[in-house]
Amino acid sequence: MKIRVVNGPNLSLLGKREPGIYGRDTLADILLAARKRAEVLGVTLEEYQSDIEGELVSYIGKSRGEADGLIINAGAYTHTSIAIRDAIAASGLPCVEVHLSNTHAREAFRQNSFMAAVCVGRSWDLAGWGTNWRSRRWPDTSGNEPARLSKFI
């Protein structure tokens, strides 16, 4: 199973940017922990990060037929990008939306997610999520028995 982990704007600044909100782990730290857990589960992760909306849309759009699912932290684009939402929907892939902070406890504009309606799950308040996986069933798009993947919590 191959899962694409898609990270949006400013996530390259993790560890330095507002650590009280986003934690002290860098994106590299989080992805390393995620890769270790994925390896145990026999899952391949392919990671991508961009601050540019169009690049994220293109990457997600190319995922159909190349991945079995998506995990996305669209950052601020969560609250503004219909284009990313539409790319997720068009991919036909199961997608889990994740956030490092509790978006519902923050500014009103951060409480809306354009991604939520096209994702199979959402998790937030996950500063350090790479080290805190919990088993769950991941929808298998091949029609076989659902494969195991872990959810970041």
Question: Does 22 participate in catalysis according to the annotation?
Answer: yes
Helix (H) or strand (E) holding 88: helix 82-91
Q: How many CA within 13 A on the CB side of residue 40?
A: 11
User: Could you report how far apart the first and last alpha carbons of the chain are, in Å?
Assistant: 20
Marked catalytic residue, from 48, 79, 99, 104:
99
Question: Does 99 participate in catalysis according to the annotation?
Answer: yes
Residue 1 contacts by C-beta under 8 Å, 6 or more apart in sequence?
42, 43, 44, 68, 69, 138, 140, 147, 149
> Per the structure block, which two tokens stand in for 83?
């284009």
DSSP 7-52: E-TTGGGTTTS-HHHH-S--HHHHHHHHHHHHHHHT-EEEEEE-S-
Marked catalytic residue, from 22, 59, 77, 79:
22
Active site residues: 22, 99
